Amino acid sequence: MGERLPISTEHCAVEREGPVVTVTLDRPEARNALSTAMLVGLADAWAYVSATPEVRVAILTGAGGHFCAGADLKAMGTPSSDPRVQARTQEIPNFHWKGLLREDRPSKPLIAAIEGYAVAGGTELLIGTDLRVVAEDATLGLYEARRGLFPMGGAAIRLPRQIGYAAAMDVLLTARPVAAAEALAMGLVNRVVPAGTALEAARDLAGQVAACGPLAVQAILRTYRETEHLPEDEALKVSDELGWPVIGSEDAVEGATAFKERRPADFKGK
């Protein structure tokens, strides 16, 4: 794998290998249901990904054959025994929402690698990522309405915007399981792969993203997020503001030079 970073917690392993950070939900005995220690680890991981220039892409996955079975209200309401986690719950404003990707999403692309169950809060985490690789036998779904609850991670807003009103309401209002093949047909995920290979496929995808110019990749992400609901004329102004500096960057010169010399580009993020 890579180097385990000190921001890891008992329920969230954060590792880095070159330009790729891998974040693993690590509570397999509970199908990686969300806990305070997990959410703190996630919040710190996203902050690290955004703040570290050498990091170009991140992967989010789960340990033990599952992604995430949603919220564990008891675990989330019980203070962690780890003093550092206790301190971080006070230091990070809204650490729950940051960890769940409701607030302050990373400025670098985030790839979900999903095996097994990714339901309720697990699907909300998926909806907060940018690229999604799912095992063929995985189960997705937003079960909150079935339990008389509400998807507080933002799914009621984001899902219709991502896959359309009819498909989103089918998922949200029936609170039924969604198989990988159906998720692909809806446009909810990018790729369906054989069981047990989601992380491997996500790493391949991360390598493709990391090989691109980081200024370009980050500007594309930022442009979409800042213009999603603007009229086109206003959105184009934002696109120009973010895009022209990329066109004039050293990376753009390197990209053209590498193409002419028929070699891989060596982007520096400048």
141-195 pLDDT, tens digit each: 999 999 999 999 999 999 999 999 999 999 999 999 999 999 999 999 999 999 9
Rounded to two decimals, the pTM is: 0.95
- Residue 68: beta bridge partners? 118
Residue 204 and residue 190 in one domain = yes
Residue 136 and residue 191 in one domain = yes
pLDDT band at 74 (very low <50, low <70, confident <90, very high): confident
**Has residue 93 got a pLDDT over 80?**
yes
Residue 145 and residue 242 in one domain = no
In this prediction, residue 78 carries a pLDDT of 76
Residue 52 and residue 150 in one domain = yes
Residue 133 and residue 244 in one domain = no
Residue 178 and residue 48 in one domain = yes
Q: Between vectors from CA 21 to CA 18 and to CA 23, what angle results, nearest 5°?
A: 155
Residue 67 and residue 151 in one domain = yes
Residue 125 and residue 256 in one domain = no
**Has residue 1 got a pLDDT over 70?**
no
Edge-to-edge, what's the strand order for the sheet holding 191-193? 3-4, 12-17, 20-25, 57-62, 110-114, 131-135, 191-193
- Hey, which residues are catalytic here? 124, 144
Which 3 state secondary structure label does DSSP give 62?
strand
What residue has token string 């008992």? 10
39-67 pLDDT, tens digit each: 999 999 999 999 999 999 999 999 999 99
Whether 270 maps to a domain, the answer reads no
Distance between CA 25 and CA 14 in Å, rounded?
9
Task: Using the 3D structure, point to which of 210, 225, 244 is the last residue of a domain.
Answer: 210
Whether 46 maps to a domain, the answer reads yes
Q: How many CB atoms neighbour CB 82 within 10 A? A: 15
**Has residue 246 got a pLDDT over 80?**
yes
Which 3 state secondary structure label does DSSP give 243?
helix
Whether 53 maps to a domain, the answer reads yes
Task: Using the 3D structure, point to which of 210, 233, 250 is the last residue of a domain.
Answer: 210
Whether 45 maps to a domain, the answer reads yes
Residue 65 and residue 41 in one domain = yes
Whether 71 maps to a domain, the answer reads yes
Mean of all residue pLDDT scores within the chain: 96
Q: 237: which 2 tokens?
A: 């102004």
Whether 96 maps to a domain, the answer reads yes
**Count: domains in the chain:** 2
Whether 268 maps to a domain, the answer reads no
Whether 269 maps to a domain, the answer reads no
In this prediction, residue 81 carries a pLDDT of 85
Task: Using the 3D structure, point to which of 179, 194, 210 is the last residue of a domain.
Answer: 210
Q: Domain limits at 228?
A: 214-261
Residue 129 and residue 218 in one domain = no
Residue 197 and residue 221 in one domain = no
What residue type is assigned to position 25 of the chain? L
| CATH assignment of the domain containing 156 | 3.90.226.10
Residue 19 and residue 106 in one domain = yes
